[in-house]
Structure 1
């Protein structure tokens, strides 16, 4: 089967997590760059990567890469890409997004328009037609320009992969599913350890953790753009990937995953989302204030996304909120806490300096993932 190259964009700062995921699926990494990881695979990788990757934003089939410093060069080199390999005569194609960093060509709308013209020209020559009905499957193209290097990919995912299909309604300041999954994977948490999110909102952290614990693939309950590409991606590939995902599920496990929030309406939403994700039996949600955070067991984990105070009127409440959170954490013997926040005084009011922190961009918002590490639990004696 032909070896193809794919590009998986991700949140800035989380490339290493995605790289490990791709390798765990058995694919060879070709490049790791800011905000994306590229890898090699066969055509079935379209199906498996979309269904199994927890931390990628989408999966692009790489169509070409070249240098361009003028629009003429951009046109000719886009035209040189063998578009007929991917797009059938009735395919609907357009340049959905163009992004340019430190490049001579920087106008997204001009880049999109010129590349579309070049694609049309190439396909007119290959299919010997003057006009395309564009009434078939969709082939949206995404383009990144970095220091005059143009990378061209066809989007196989469609709707971003963070839309798992379980979260129709979100609470305030939601964290995306892909970011939540990546942050959990950055911690040493395992399914046999306690996990509590005291600011759970619509339940994203507990739900993503429960899906990992039960080995439920994140893309099982949604559809993808490339499912329509029957000329390129065999239907059999999708069936086999779903069968593989179903065989791996193990949801009759015991877990201790809990989500608390002060807002009872948001807790109802979290319960509904967990039900949609098929993990409601693995999570305990409760209306509870962070100051009432207690747990009798040792060596637990807190992974959370506390309020940032993005609105000015909320800023005044933050010192008391982070102080209450820090005091509750201080009472939890031997626990570890991980929080993502853009609040600059988080450590000061939490009352402890983080053992590690990591800068992560949540969209355009610069945030820090603070890591307060507790002791490791003692090793269990081996059974004779």
Structure 2
């Protein structure tokens, strides 16, 4: 089958991580832009990228890209694209749209024009005037940025952060994709203890367990493109077999999730069970003041409360001061903390070794990284493998 061009969409600040993941899968024709990573690959990459990408939001099949400042240009150039080669005659093909800094700013009009153009293209191939759209879903997106129109088809369905294990969540859950990014950015290795003292519904410990045993994040869910006749079922079978072949189900891990709230810990245990990693994580009710460890080296990765409402800010500031004191007792550990407060370092009591701007949903946050001393090497460290 002919090669395809794919776009892995990314939350702002995570593009470089997504690009590295794409390259680690063996795809080298990679272009990084704000919010997306474009790469050339074969059709099997649709299966493998959806199954393996931990930090991407979704995977889109790029159909075409061109400049359009009039509706006529948008219509004619959309109609010229090879829609019938990609979409079967019985498919459902709704159109979504977005427009940023473009002459064609009416999203509803752009959607209608693209829909009409695709229908005209399909008419020529299938020799019919009307499409029932009762078959597999091919959701089209027209995205206009500075008058450049990019036409794609979504291959993921639900966003890739929906791993399939978290039906239940606490009030302010961290997206699974961002949790995975925090772990990857920390350069955590599976032979090192990892602790989250604000684990909530367990997202960080669960994502760490998946990473530690090299379990593909999409292993327990389905994707909309699995129903596409365009992609041979054998490609999906091979890709899913690869996820099992490369998993290290017998690798021991030392992951701890603590919280003061028994109810959210119950959710965390249920979510870990759904993910199949409940045996790998020790969840415990524990106040922050009691956090300690007999292990000399380890990593704390956490997303403590932000205190978004006015009445909560002082309480959160007290919490950050307490964190500085408690974490300071683990003076040979490294700490990685996601926080929105602009004075976090002052409250915590020391400047971060490094910090990185990220977004947690619509909230602008910083990822404060405090590097502890490097532990002595005991032979070669046990790394994490990905297919390549």
TM bracket (short chain): over 0.9
Question: Deviation string for 1:320-353 (max 9, x for gaps)?
Answer: 1111111111110211111112122221211111
What's the counterpart of residue 157 of structure 1? Answer: 156
Distance in 2 (alpha carbons) for counterparts of 1:308 and 1:279: 28
What's the counterpart of residue 135 of structure 2? Answer: 136
Distance in 1 (alpha carbons) for counterparts of 2:101 and 2:133: 34
Distance in 1 (alpha carbons) for counterparts of 2:100 and 2:165: 34
Distance in 2 (alpha carbons) for counterparts of 1:178 and 1:276: 17
List runs of 5+ in structure 2 lacking aligned partners.
381-388
Deviation of the 1:169 alpha carbon: 0.9
What's the counterpart of residue 345 of structure 1? Answer: 343
Question: Deviation string for 1:278-326 (max 9, x for gaps)?
Answer: 1111100111111211011122101111101123332231111111111
Distance in 2 (alpha carbons) for counterparts of 1:258 and 1:341: 20
What's the counterpart of residue 88 of structure 1? Answer: 88
What's the counterpart of residue 384 of structure 2? Answer: none
Does 101-110 or 298-307 show the bigger shift? 101-110
Deviation of the 1:354 alpha carbon: 1.1
> Does 1:37 find its partner at 2:2?
no
TM-score using structure 1 length: 0.96
Contact 2:337 2:369 in 1 (8 A): yes
List runs of 5+ in structure 1 lacking aligned partners.
none
- Equivalent positions of 1:234-383 (< 5 A) are 234-380=232-378
Distance in 1 (alpha carbons) for counterparts of 2:293 and 2:105: 54
What's the counterpart of residue 218 of structure 1? Answer: 217
Contact 1:215 1:250 in 2 (8 A): yes
Question: Deviation string for 1:3-27 (max 9, x for gaps)?
Answer: 1100000111111111111111111
Distance in 2 (alpha carbons) for counterparts of 1:315 and 1:47: 44
Deviation of the 1:102 alpha carbon: 2.0
TM-score using structure 2 length: 0.95
What's the counterpart of residue 21 of structure 1? Answer: 21
Deviation of the 1:209 alpha carbon: 0.5
Deviation of the 1:92 alpha carbon: 0.5
What's the counterpart of residue 171 of structure 2? Answer: 172
Does 70-79 or 100-109 show the bigger shift? 100-109
Contact 1:29 1:37 in 2 (8 A): no
What's the counterpart of residue 72 of structure 2? Answer: 72
What's the counterpart of residue 195 of structure 2? Answer: 196
Deviation of the 1:381 alpha carbon: 6.1
> Does 1:7 find its partner at 2:1?
no
Distance in 2 (alpha carbons) for counterparts of 1:110 and 1:339: 44
Distance change (3 Å), C-alpha of 1:29 and 1:311:
farther
Contact 2:19 2:30 in 1 (8 A): no
Distance change (3 Å), C-alpha of 1:135 and 1:381:
closer
Deviation of the 1:114 alpha carbon: 1.5
What's the counterpart of residue 52 of structure 2? Answer: 52
DSSP-derived class of the 1:325 partner: helix
Contact 2:80 2:121 in 1 (8 A): yes
Question: Deviation string for 1:105-150 (max 9, x for gaps)?
Answer: 2222222122111111211222221110111111001232221111
Distance in 2 (alpha carbons) for counterparts of 1:381 and 1:168: 40
Contact 1:357 1:368 in 2 (8 A): yes
Deviation of the 1:2 alpha carbon: 1.3
Distance in 1 (alpha carbons) for counterparts of 2:236 and 2:130: 32
Distance in 2 (alpha carbons) for counterparts of 1:67 and 1:30: 22
Distance in 2 (alpha carbons) for counterparts of 1:77 and 1:19: 29
Distance in 2 (alpha carbons) for counterparts of 1:353 and 1:151: 42
